[in-house]
Amino acid sequence: MNWLNEAGPERDVTLTSRIRLARNIADIPFPTVMLPEHARQVAEKVRNSIFDFSGHQRFAGIKFAYIKMSDVPEIERQILVEKHLASQDLMEHPEVSAILLDSNEEITVMINEEDHIRMQCVLPGFQLSKAWETISYIDDLIEEQVDYAFHEEFGYLTSCPTNVGTGLRSSVMMHLPGLTMSNQMNAILQTITKIGLTARGIYGEGSEALGSIYQISNQVTLGPTEEDIINNLSIVSRQIVDKERQARKALRQAGGIQFEDSLWRACGLLLHARIMSLKEFMSLISSVRLAVSMGLIPGVALEKIDAVMTMGQPANVMKKAGGRLKGKEVDVERANIIRGAMREILNL
């Protein structure tokens, strides 16, 4: 089970909550300048912090698998990214990178990414506090065996100065079609920047906010405590949830049958289209997700719509097709996959 399969608090607006910690091992060069032998040392130290020398876990309750990225086919690596279980940066050097992934697919410890260790917990809905509690526990377990690079004044030392201090990034992935359609997003983005937050696209830094999905996270890691960072994001996120719900209500009241019709037309296109680009697909599935969350399409769980959203991502489409596709072949196969998935969900 992972965030795609489980319900969560405030799921109508908040898809996921994530806490990520950046850590490096003392006396080993950062990944940007380290040698292959250093990378092997890092991987061994981190793996041994979870498993003992006989291959058994050092603690009970959470079951991890150790996976070398060089052993994972390229498509499968991209699926990890599309499911938000690993970062795109981790995939840049599969010959030295690895992950520890728990059986529930909630916790990922990424090895030899931009930092030696990037550990994260991703939970469905609005659960920042629980995600922090979980990843803090994993951090403590690793630190029992690994000597972190730490400075008394600057805190945890990281490859990028923007992560120095706590090394913590807290984020919520939010579906904000109401604020987008009512032209309120620009004002919100400008406001949150003034209080130390930022908004990125569906796959984080450098990605586009497809389907009105934004990742909102802290910018500042040095100075405030972990609890302060999480509390600040929590307060702002709840305000955005309220504003999004108000915007949806206002759009429905003002648009009436035309507003509802636009959402049902999106559903119709997903059920019948023969070719569909990623951008068009994300726009359409966003409208259907909005319709489901507002009760216009009853009897459908939001997590099923979110699972369909992942099915339409490029690597998932490639895998379903059983091989590489070129050009418009991807868009044709995406439409084919989505038609079948939507018919199953709607019992057609």
What pLDDT, on the 0 to 100 scale, is given for residue 201? Answer: 81
Q: Is the pLDDT of residue 227 over 70?
A: yes
Contact yes or no for 200/215 (Cβ under 8 A): yes
What pLDDT, on the 0 to 100 scale, is given for residue 3? Answer: 76
Task: Report helix, strand or coil for 57.
Answer: strand
- Global confidence as pTM: 0.93
What pLDDT, on the 0 to 100 scale, is given for residue 205? Answer: 62
pLDDT classification of 202: cutoffs 50, 70, 90? confident
pLDDT classification of 52: cutoffs 50, 70, 90? confident
**Mean pLDDT of the 217-227 span:** 93
**Mean pLDDT of the 322-328 span:** 83
- Answer positive or negative: Cα dihedral of 74, 160, 22, 238: negative
CA-CA distance, 330 to 277, in Å (whole number)? 8
Q: Please write the tens of the pLDDT for every residue from 58-83.
A: 777 788 999 999 999 999 999 999 99
What pLDDT, on the 0 to 100 scale, is given for residue 53? Answer: 63
Q: Is the pLDDT of residue 291 over 90?
A: yes
| Domain range summary for the chain, segments of one domain joined by + | 251-345
What pLDDT, on the 0 to 100 scale, is given for residue 159? Answer: 94
Q: Is the pLDDT of residue 323 over 80?
A: no
174-204 CB burial, b ≥16 within 10 A, e <16: bbbbbbbbbebbeebbeebeeebbbbbbbbb
Residues 6+ apart with CB under 8 A from 294: 248, 252
Q: Is the pLDDT of residue 178 over 80?
A: yes
Q: Is the pLDDT of residue 234 over 70?
A: yes
Query: Which of 157, 132, 134, 137 has its CA nearest to residue 147?
Result: 157
Q: Please write the tens of the pLDDT for every residue from 3-48.
A: 777 889 999 999 999 999 999 999 999 999 999 999 999 999 999 9
Residues 6+ apart with CB under 8 A from 276: 269, 284, 312, 331, 334, 335, 338
CA-CA distance, 304 to 323, in Å (whole number)? 25
Q: Is the pLDDT of residue 1 over 70?
A: no
Contact yes or no for 18/120 (Cβ under 8 A): yes
Q: Please write the tens of the pLDDT for every residue from 246-274.
A: 999 999 999 999 999 999 999 999 999 99
- Rounded mean pLDDT of the chain? 93
Contact yes or no for 154/195 (Cβ under 8 A): no
Weakest-pLDDT range from 159-163, 199-203, 314-318: 199-203
Q: Is the pLDDT of residue 305 over 90?
A: yes
CA-CA distance, 296 to 250, in Å (whole number)? 15
